[in-house]
Amino acid sequence: IAAALGALGWKIAIGARRTDALAEVGKAVEAAGGRPFAHALDVTDPESIERFFAATEQALGPVDVVVNNAGIGLPGLLHEMPIDNVERELATNLLGPIRVARRALPTMLAARRGDLVFISSMNVVEPRPFQLGYTAAKAGLEGMVSVLRRDLEGTGVRATVVRPGATRSEFGFGWDPSILMRVIDSWKEWGYMRHLDMMEGAHVAHAVVSVVTAPPGLHVDVVQVNPERKPGS
């Protein structure tokens, strides 16, 4: 997403807890033609959010597009997993984007323009077993955005959901192999694995770019993208 926005020639602020990974993303933004600025960011920490925005505004100026893409998934059954896992998912996937949007809004409202993009999940419309906390957070996120969109009507600021299906990424890399097999078996049983093909991150990025480059006065509410089954797969 950062590289795709950089290809528009934009100044791009990137934030993450893993500051070592930001350097690689920054290089991709620069290679695409953008101007990167990297800074540590933990969306579960209000002070970290404030430091990120303050540093970004000082380096690049006012923020007019925000893409809320931070997310974690901690699979398990409610009666088996620690309740702390659910709390972490809600803090990162729901409260985090709310905090980030709240920090960005005053500047956007003053400028009477801006885009708030929230990366959701197909889990909202096709809830998957073993992803109770993740699904609850993403469903809550979409509910929040539907209200925010109405609250922002006529301000020039847009709030949009991008809802991707299976995407190739690091998501799930840290899952315990034993729980992963149970997850896969349950998804097959419920018919959520019609095929194993996945989208690339660039496909989701294309959807984000289409949202934030839409002409003023046009509000794209939800963009849902899914991988197509490849021939022979």
Q: What is the dihedral of CA 94, 215, 199, 63, to 10 degrees?
A: -50
How far is the C-alpha of 161 from the C-alpha of 139, rounded, in Å? 11
Query: Among this protein's residues, is 192 annotated catalytic?
Result: no
Task: Give the containing element (helix H, strand E) for 68.
Answer: strand 65-68
How far is the C-alpha of 140 from the C-alpha of 145, rounded, in Å? 9
Q: Give the rounded distance of the alpha carbon of 21 from its chain centre.
A: 17
Q: Give the rounded distance of the alpha carbon of 186 from its chain centre.
A: 25
Residue 13, beta-bridge partner list? 37
Per DSSP, 119 falls in state E
Catalytic residue among 10, 118, 130, 134: 134
Task: Give the SS3 label for residue 228.
Answer: coil
How far is the C-alpha of 144 from the C-alpha of 83, rounded, in Å? 23
Task: Give the containing element (helix H, strand E) for 87.
Answer: helix 83-90
- Give the catalytic positions in this structure: 134
